[in-house]
Structure 1
Amino acid sequence: MLKLMRLELRKFGLKPYVRSAVIGTILIFILVSCLTMNAQMRASLPLSSYPMTFSIIDTLVRGMYIVFAAVILSRLIIGEFQNKTMALMFTYPINRKKMMAAKLLFVLLFTFIANIISCLLIGAGFAVLNHMEGVIPGLLTWPVTERFLLVVFMNALATSFLSLIPLYFGMRKHSVATTITSSVIVAALVCQNIDGKTLYSIIAVPIALALLGAVIAYMSIRNIENVGLVN
């Protein structure tokens, strides 16, 4: 499996994904900083405390990586079906299920790790900014930090599986546009933040969506041995 993942990395490269993740992280940090530095925006949005601001950061990062994962899925899987290059890959003496599982595992791991890193970098950057500017009253306490770290880890894990849901829609017609569009819809549904509360605040929701993503991932490779070489 690791060898197959290394082959995918060689084929598509990791730098474009890392570069895009870095750019997205910087943009979200700039957005959050601008919102908190603006008194009118701070009054109209739930940015009056560290927990609420961290919730906004987590929500924005989550939405970014749901769409970002769909872009990666489109390139690694949907695009190869669409361009018929997957048919060529299926002629190799490699188990098809392992090949597809390696692709999905790459998306899962990248989304999970990048999500955590982005949240931590933005959260740390905001804490430093707030220490210098004092836009949010009070100190950043360890209990608040500990809760933020736990929420980031759990939400990143759920998001990595949740991000596989658009694969179902994209695989139906091998459509890149459908994959990305469905990811935007999923992100819009799970990333609505009202007074620091989202659907992720209901613990059953991210668990159910993560399980749904896992089921979709399984379904996408279950009958892959029976897929024709030409679609």
Structure 2
Amino acid sequence: MLNLMRLEMKKFHIGSYIKRAIFANFVILAIMFMLLFITKIEGDAVFENYQTVLSLIDSTVRAVFIIFASALNAKLIISEFKYKTITLAFMYPINRKKLMASKLAIIVLFTFSAIIVSNVFVSVVFCTIISNFHLFSDTLTISVIIQRIPIVIMNAIAASCIALIPLYFGMRKYSIPVTIISSIFIVSVVSSNTGNFSLNDIIFIPIALAIIGISVAYASFRKIEKMDI
């Protein structure tokens, strides 16, 4: 399994996606600074304290990388079926389910790792810079950071599984655009924020969607051994 994952990552040049993920981090930082600038000018209370800041960073990072994961879904899976390049891989004496499982594992692990690393990077850079301007009455303490750690990890796990849901829509007609558009729709529903509240705050919602994501991935490939490409 690990060897299959290594070969798949080499085949699809996963390093290029790591570079894009790094670029996405700087885009997220730019968005955060732009939001801060706009809210300070208009006098909105979007950035009330560090808890709010860290929560908004986490929400933004997850939204970006769920959509990012749809690009991985499209590249590693959808495009292989669309252009029938998967037939070459199926000609080798490799269990089809293990091959598909390795692809899904890469997507889930990449998304999870990207969310965790991005949360740390963006939070450190953003909070370090704004702390010099004393914009908030509170301070970023160790206890605040410790409280956020399990929340970020749980959200990252849920988001990594939710990122598999677009496979259901993409695999129906092997459509890359549908895969990406469906991920944008999912993000817009789950991460939409109204009055500092989003559906993701209801713990049942991300858990249910994560289970759906895993189920979708399993259902899409459970008959892969008998599937004609």
TM-score between the two structures when normalised by the length of structure 1: 0.95
Q: More deviation in 140-149 or 184-193?
A: 140-149
Structure 1 position 154 matched with structure 2 position 151:
no
Please give the secondary structure, in 1, of the residue aligned with 2:71: helix
CA positional deviation for 1:45: 5.0
Residue type at the aligned position of 1:40:
I
CA distance in 2, matches of 1:130, 1:195: 23
1:62–1:168: structure 2 CA closer, same or farther, 3 Å change rule? Answer: same
CA contact (8 A) 1:82 1:175 kept: yes
What is the letter of the counterpart of residue 199 of structure 1? L
TM-superposition CA deviations, 1:96-119 (whole Å, max 9, x none) = 000000000000000001101001
What is the alpha-carbon distance in structure 1 between the residues aligned to residue 109 and residue 170 of structure 2?
20
Aligned match of 2:163: 163
CA distance in structure 2 between the aligned counterparts of 1:75 and 1:107, rounded to whole angstroms? 10
Corresponding residue for 1:225? 225
**Residue number in structure 2 paired with 1:46:** 46
For 2:141 and 2:200, locate their aligned partners in 1 and report how far apart those are by CA, in whole Å. 23
Inter-partner Cα distance in structure 1 for 2:102 and 2:195: 39
Aligned to 1:19: 19
Aligned residues: 228
Question: Where does residue 29 of structure 1 map in the other structure?
Answer: 29
- Listed one character per residue, the Cα deviations across residues 84-132 of structure 1 (whole Å, up to 9, x for unaligned) are 1011211111000000000000000000011010011111112201221
> Taking every aligned residue pair, what percent have the same amino acid on both sides?
40
Q: Say whether the 8 Å CA contact 1:59–1:193 is kept in structure 2.
A: no
Q: How does 1:205-224 map to 2 (within 5 A)?
A: 205-224=205-224
- Structure 2 segments unaligned to the other structure (5+ residues): none
Name the counterpart of 2:185.
Answer: 185
Distance in 2 (CA, whole Å) between partners of 1:136 and 1:158 is 31
Unaligned stretches of 5+ in structure 1? none
Does 46-55 or 155-164 show the bigger shift? Answer: 46-55
Matched letter for residue 189 of structure 1: V
Structure 1 runs of 4+ with >4 Å offset: none
* Root-mean-square deviation over aligned CA pairs: 1.2
